[in-house]
Amino acid sequence: MRSRYTICLLAGLILLAGFILPAASLAGTNTWTTNGPSGGEVLSLALSPNFASDHTLFAGTYDGGAFKSTDAGASWSAVNTGLISPEVTPLALSPNFAADSTLFAGTWGGGVFKSTDRGSNWSAVNTGLTGMNVYSLALSPNFASDSTLFAGTYGGGAFKSTNAGASWSAVNTGPTNTHVLSLALSPNFASDHTLFAGAVGGVFSYTFSPRNYYWAWYDATGGMQNWVLMANPSGAAGNLRFDLDIAGTPRSPGDLGSGVGVVPPGKALTPMYLGVTGGPVKATSVTGDKAIVSQRSLMGNSFEEVLGTDEARLSDHYFWSWYDELSSGYTNWILIANPSATETVSAVISFTNLADGQPVSQVGDIAPGANWNPTFPGKMGGPVEVKAYKAGGSWPTDKMNVIASQRVLSNNGSAFNEVPGIPAADLSSDYLWTWYDNASPGATDWVLVANPGVDHTGASQGTVSATVKIGALTYGPYSIAPGHNVTPTFPGIADGPVEVTSTGGDVIATQRSLFGPSFEEVPGYPRANLASDYHWTWYDQQSAGSTNWVLVANPGDTPVTYQIKIAGQVQPTTADNPGTIPAHGKVTPTFPTEKGGPVEVTSTGGPVMASQRVLWNGYFNEVLGTVLN
């Protein structure tokens, strides 16, 4: 049913038409004259951004569709091919209309239509648009690069498209009324991401908060190759746009042909900046939409992938299970980066239970946007703890979030590994991995379990008891005092899933693996965080020397079904990729013809655990799947 606001609007237009229709079709001075379209009840007008030179404008009418004039309104012609709804409420032209010839029409009952040939032909663009009575349209001032526009509907609220109308998603979080009559974007939308909506009930504002992902460091110098991978999930509603910053310097994320930093669903940007080193690194999903981001590094033949840390998951308190700069051929850094643009941060690194019996406690001040990367020669042991707070203050009264990771060079500098710190809030009494291997030639695998002395709430705890389960075999229990750990290994065992559980408190749990010349550490995944949808930026079994497995484990008591997509394509069910996993079972398929991203694993019937394992010229890496929150 038409709203009373529309009825009033139409009544006013009809009355106005009655007064002005008899006038001559001439431009008036200090008066109004009618310029057509003849007899139309005109609901909307839109002028070309280049009106001064092309004299082009469009009119949307109540029952006659759309009209176009190329002589500043002196004459009009109907432009309705493909425009199946005759009631055109709003019209909006691309800011780059002179080059892209694009405009949009909102209709009452028919949704949104798009023309890319200056109105000669139209097509409906309504995927995901559940409100078909469209009252308002607004295009981003940067539409040419971000492909972003908004639609306000009567009864359905506001919708956003980031792929020039190909698909829409609702943006109605908060108190905005479902009857959105008008929309306006900030002229500085590219940086402030602010939108206003006039609705039944008043004016509402909406700010799209960018979503930032961090790493402590970037290095593409001295034989190191380092890519930042930024991917848009294959099931996303529209394009993502990324910004990238390394050590305070903006970097171009690259162009897939849709604009700088613009990534369509199921695609990934993979830029590398040779000769650049420093940190922190920040990848930004500009409108706050969910993204998959990681860094991939090659050092010689050594391959490593590190997931970006979502800003919402940054912490002031981190742990690792172990530190080693005593074993032959090892160099070990603790990297701490300060993401604040204004505040200096103090960080305390401490660890006990060391081979030399001398505990470590060291404080470093980190300027805004800077980092601290200390190393501790001759030290080996754990757990390792980092606390961060505002310089001049104390922890936890003045705590501040930082980015924290460990970087290890092993095998006399030929193998590289990095493992992010485990936030204290993520400590758990139940961790999982997809696989354990201490049976393959050249493989040695330890399960490290440490007692941090506190649980995930920060409460102190005493001695804990931990158990390790690999497939159907159980080991332990192991008694672990606060500030101590155990590092068992299980020769001849290759199986999964792997689980560490504890009683008496939370633990830190990781796997450390030696495979041939390489070293790898993988944190356990808390059972409480298990999901039915995991993502990675990339898969590669086409590059020379690369073998890539997708491991999916079912830690539950009932069978599950699963599906693997690579670059948006569902991988076929085969003996290697059966599509079902029994209770407490696992699969480890590989796809010899595939290279690309993003990668997705989904399951039905229960949550799963998922990771990718890669052999690159004999060097081993494993990266857990990302859960999009």
Q: Are 609 and 553 in contact (CB under 8 A)?
A: yes
* Alpha helices (runs of H) in 406-528, residue ranges in sequence order: none
Q: Are 44 and 68 in contact (CB under 8 A)?
A: no
Instruction: Determine the Cα–Cα distance for residues 539 and 567; give it in Å rounded to an integer.
Output: 9
Instruction: Determine the Cα–Cα distance for residues 104 and 583; give it in Å rounded to an integer.
Output: 52
Tokens read off for 197: 């909506």
Q: How confident is the model at residue 286 (pLDDT cuts 50, 70, 90)?
A: confident
Tokens read off for 299: 């050092």
Q: How far is CA 188 from CA 142, 238, 590, in A?
A: 9, 21, 47
Instruction: Determine the Cα–Cα distance for residues 85 and 381; give it in Å rounded to an integer.
Output: 72
What's the pLDDT tens digit per position in 96-128? 999 999 999 999 999 999 999 999 999 999 988
What's the pLDDT tens digit per position in 465-478? 999 999 999 999 99
Lowest mean pLDDT, pick from 17-21, 229-233, 329-333, 400-404 = 17-21
Phi, psi torsion values for 122, nearest 5 degrees: -130, 155
Closest CA to 227 of 269, 261, 272, 267: 272
Instruction: Determine the Cα–Cα distance for residues 470 and 156; give it in Å rounded to an integer.
Output: 51
What's the pLDDT tens digit per position in 41-71? 899 999 999 999 999 999 999 989 999 999 9
Q: How far is CA 123 from CA 108, 151, 603, in A?
A: 15, 16, 36
Tokens read off for 219: 């290095």
Instruction: Determine the Cα–Cα distance for residues 14 and 300; give it in Å rounded to an integer.
Output: 76
Lowest mean pLDDT, pick from 250-254, 352-356, 393-397 = 352-356
What is the pLDDT, as a whole number, of residue 626? 92
Give me the residue label for tokens 């002005």.
Answer: 20
Instruction: Determine the Cα–Cα distance for residues 488 and 556; give it in Å rounded to an integer.
Output: 25
Residue 258 has pLDDT above 60, yes or no: yes
Instruction: Determine the Cα–Cα distance for residues 171 and 175; give it in Å rounded to an integer.
Output: 11
Residue 581 has pLDDT above 80, yes or no: yes
What's the pLDDT tens digit per position in 521-549? 999 999 999 999 999 999 999 999 899 99
Closest CA to 442 of 370, 514, 385, 373: 514
Mean pLDDT of 319-344: 94
Instruction: Determine the Cα–Cα distance for residues 448 and 510; give it in Å rounded to an integer.
Output: 5
Q: How confident is the model at residue 29 (pLDDT cuts 50, 70, 90)?
A: low
CB neighbours of 607 closer than 8 A, spacing ≥ 6?
A: 530, 531, 532, 555, 556
Residue 17 has pLDDT above 70, yes or no: no
Q: Are 411 and 445 in contact (CB under 8 A)?
A: no
What is the pLDDT, as a whole number, of residue 28? 56
What is the pLDDT, as a whole number, of residue 40? 67
What's the pLDDT tens digit per position in 600-625? 999 999 999 999 999 998 899 999 99
Instruction: Determine the Cα–Cα distance for residues 450 and 485; give it in Å rounded to an integer.
Output: 4
Total length of the chain: 629
For residue 79, how many other CB atoms are within 10 A of its CB?
Answer: 22
Spatial strand order of the sheet with 134-139 comes to: 134-139, 149-153, 157-161, 169-170
Instruction: Determine the Cα–Cα distance for residues 301 and 282; give it in Å rounded to an integer.
Output: 26
Share of the chain above pLDDT 70, in %: 93
Lowest mean pLDDT, pick from 9-13, 379-383, 488-492 = 9-13
Mean predicted lDDT score pLDDT of the chain: 90
Q: Are 376 and 364 in contact (CB under 8 A)?
A: no
Q: Are 182 and 204 in contact (CB under 8 A)?
A: no
Tokens read off for 148: 């972003």
Residue 273 has pLDDT above 90, yes or no: yes
What is the pLDDT, as a whole number, of residue 34? 66
CB neighbours of 309 closer than 8 A, spacing ≥ 6?
A: 213, 214, 215, 403, 420
What's the pLDDT tens digit per position in 306-319? 999 999 999 999 99
**pTM for the whole thing?**
0.78
